Structure 1
Amino acid sequence: MEASCGDTHGVEVREIGGSKGKGLFALCKFSAGETIFEERPLVCSQFLWNQAYGYLACDYCMRPLETAEENAQRLSSNRQLVLPYPQCCNTKKENHVNCSQCEVSYCSVACQSLAWEQYHRVLCFGGSGGDSNHPLEQLQVAWRNVHYPPETASIMLIARMIATVKQAKDKEGAIHLFSQFCHSTVNEEEQIAHKLLGERFQVQLEQLRELLSKALFEECIYHWFTPEGFRSLIALVGTNGQGVGTSPLSVWTKNCDALDLPTEEKQHLNEFIDHLYEEVDKETGAFLNNEGSGLYPLQSSCNHSCVPNAEATFPYSNFVLVMEAVKDIEPGEEIVVCYLDDCNRHRSRHSRIKMLRYVKAIF
């Protein structure tokens, strides 16, 4: 699998053996700050607890549907809060649309059409109006009951994988797209790949499998619905799911940071942002900018390092992942990543320094 670097092929996935299995390697030089590749997920889904707590995102691309001010008001529990520099908010409410059948929301007609063509025809509740007896509703409730925040995966990723196969004209081709992901139920230390695969969750796991089978069974992927096949699917999304960050407050903060302001006004703005995040921390805990997860073939091939040479970013405020070089990368060098979530990178300088000190202490 390759991705472009100018007019040439810039990266490739290689089998490297051992505990890592495979890795992503550069085929040409990338300078620090340069985009290595851009990638859309095969499937993407908002975390169900984020959805339950009122975070509004496009059901297809994860673009925020609430304004930065609405987001800040909700997270800080301060409905009177007014954000300065409203021009720094990118949310375009006039473009939002809802599915006429199930009322899920999209940021645009284009996203609504893409979702309908890929998987939403299967997942649409057909006007059930959130009927609690609908199998998909029961599946989501069951998932929330066994997977409290912070979420690290979503059962709806699996549902969308299955729906994608069910709607695909080339079902074998669709199955192959998902087969490239690692789906071992244990990792190299012989530990479980996701907590739901642990012994204490076996009853709940079987309940999830039965609900998924009732809602979406498909003969050509019957093996996905067997007990072992379902465990592999849980392992797949648990191991490969990439957090997707699309916070409108984060985007507003980043855009504010780019404003050309007098020194005193800039300092006042930084102090306002610091205070705002402190209030968010008090009301809702640490504000993490991972509102959902997606399956990205290239990104999932990147191995972890505490000294990374690349990082995954979401500069378009949707599910498009942009892998950027954080240092010069030479041809033949492995591309490795680490995490400092996008939201914390986009706080003011003072908050970023505190967060970086915290992450350094962890490592």
Structure 2
Amino acid sequence: MDVEVRLVDNSKGKGLFSKKCFKSGAIIFEEEPLVSCQFSWNAAYQYKACDHCLRPLETAEENARRLTGKPELELPFPECCTTDKSKFTSCTLCGTDYCSVECQTTAYNQYHRILCLQTTERNNFHPLEQLNEAWKHVHYPPETNTIMLIVRLLARIIQSPNRDLAIEQTLQFCHRTVNEDAELAHKLLGEKFANQLSLLHSLLLQCVPHEGIEQFLTPAGFQGLLALIGTNGQGVGTSTISQWVTRTSDLAISDDERAVLDKFIDKLYEDMDSHSGNFLNNEGVALFTLQSACNHSCVPNAEPTYLHNNNKLSLVAVRDIQEGEEICISYLDECNLHRSRHSRRKELMENYLFACNCPKCEEQADEPDVTSEEEEGEEEMSE
């Protein structure tokens, strides 16, 4: 590997460091997740993805028709679609859909044997379905996580041929539930979820066998698992339409044809935005062993992306990185990253239980402690 995990300092803990120089745009490493899962509401709204790797299960045209609400829409250059429906398969027992036999086999061997509903008719009475529904009622879109990732994580431990190793791999992730200094519980354990924790816990207990994972099934263990997925979960997004657009950019066509195509794509995105808003991708969450060692910075030098249109993460340098330099990503999305220092630090404290002291936050330390919304309100009042 061209990176290594080592101690940053006693207060910050571990971080990921480069063992060579990386140019901007270079892939630093690629990594399969320990476990991943599609968001609950995303799946409920018919965003069709492989249950294991989150690869889209629609053609680009099918994707575009659904997102625009135009069932007669036809995409030019269908050869640019990356979907191969001939490889799709389903679990013969419960009907769960996969993009390939390879994904189905991997899922069954890792966790699905325990979680298979073993019925072709979903009746909403199975404990897994009840847990998923309960979660959906406390975690509406925009989604940031799903309790089903915990279920999959526990099933992975139960099915592992080396259970002790699987438990060790799970415990290596941060599962801190509170920031004692700030007297703040993790967001998933906060006021919004407090009244539902006992229900979610009791439903979880009905979903998986208990033997060998008792430490995770106590109330404290369950809260630790919620904090684990909350502080380590990395968002995953896949899309056949974005892959189609990327491939059309490589077409050898005339300037006039390119102009027509660009106009078509612009209108396509306008229609998708009008009909579906910002929710264009198959979205989910995953746990990555190596990526989780990356600390946050509001001026990151790397970013996670999904070049293979599935849950395989590619960490890409966004600027030149020197040998020995710490590799940092942003835990915030692009919108939050450009908000005020106070807003950024508040978001990070609620979701990750730390106060950011990156170079950008240190440079802005003298700024007033007001949220971005307050700043915008002040600007509007002064106009």
- Runs of 5+ unmatched residues, structure 1: 5-9, 342-355
**C-alpha displacement of 1:271:** 2.3
**C-alpha displacement of 1:159:** 0.5
Quote the Cα distance in structure 1 between the aligned partners of 2:86 and 2:19. 43
Greater CA deviation, 253-262 or 311-320?
A: 253-262
Is residue 45 from structure 1 mapped to residue 66 from structure 2 by the alignment? no
**C-alpha displacement of 1:273:** 1.7
Quote the Cα distance in structure 2 between the aligned partners of 1:252 and 1:339. 28
Could you tell me which of 292, 303, 306 is aligned with 1:300? Answer: 292
Quote the Cα distance in structure 2 between the aligned partners of 1:202 and 1:306. 30
Contact 1:68 1:89 in 2 (8 A): yes
Could you tell me which of 98, 101, 106 is aligned with 1:114? Answer: 106
Give the equivalent residue in structure 1 for 2:88: 96
Change over 3 Å in CA distance of 1:310–1:144 after alignment to 2: same
Corresponding residue SS for 1:245: strand
Change over 3 Å in CA distance of 1:279–1:235 after alignment to 2: same
**TM-score normalised by length of structure 2:** 0.83
**C-alpha displacement of 1:359:** 7.3
Give the equivalent residue in structure 2 for 1:284: 276
Is residue 322 from structure 1 mapped to residue 301 from structure 2 by the alignment? no
Give the equivalent residue in structure 2 for 1:350: none
**C-alpha displacement of 1:307:** 2.2
Contact 2:67 2:280 in 1 (8 A): no
* Percent identical residues: 51
Quote the Cα distance in structure 2 between the aligned partners of 1:197 and 1:339. 19
**C-alpha displacement of 1:19:** 5.4
Is residue 71 from structure 1 mapped to residue 83 from structure 2 by the alignment? no
Could you tell me which of 149, 169, 186 is aligned with 2:161? Answer: 169
CA offsets, 1:253-295, max 9 Å, x none? 1112232332332232222222222222222211354611100
CA RMSD of aligned residues (A): 2.0
CA offsets, 1:310-349, max 9 Å, x none? 12111111111111112221111011123798xxxxxxxx
**C-alpha displacement of 1:164:** 0.5
Number of residue pairs aligned between Structure 1 and Structure 2: 339
Is residue 225 from structure 1 mapped to residue 233 from structure 2 by the alignment? no
Greater CA deviation, 217-226 or 259-268?
A: 259-268
Give the equivalent residue in structure 2 for 1:181: 173
Corresponding residue SS for 2:173: coil
Give the equivalent residue in structure 2 for 1:193: 186
* Amino acid aligned to 1:167: Q
Give the equivalent residue in structure 2 for 1:334: 326
Which structure: larger Rg? Answer: 2
Contact 2:157 2:167 in 1 (8 A): yes
Change over 3 Å in CA distance of 1:108–1:181 after alignment to 2: same
Contact 2:95 2:120 in 1 (8 A): no
Contact 1:165 1:174 in 2 (8 A): yes
Could you tell me which of 94, 116, 138 is aligned with 2:130? Answer: 138
Change over 3 Å in CA distance of 1:116–1:361 after alignment to 2: closer
**TM-score normalised by length of structure 1:** 0.88
Corresponding residue SS for 1:287: coil
Quote the Cα distance in structure 1 between the aligned partners of 2:185 and 2:279. 27
Quote the Cα distance in structure 1 between the aligned partners of 2:337 and 2:292. 24
Give the equivalent residue in structure 2 for 1:25: 17
Contact 2:49 2:282 in 1 (8 A): no
Quote the Cα distance in structure 2 between the aligned partners of 1:362 and 1:89. 37
Is residue 237 from structure 1 mapped to residue 229 from structure 2 by the alignment? yes
* Amino acid aligned to 1:207: L
Quote the Cα distance in structure 2 between the aligned partners of 1:268 and 1:136. 48
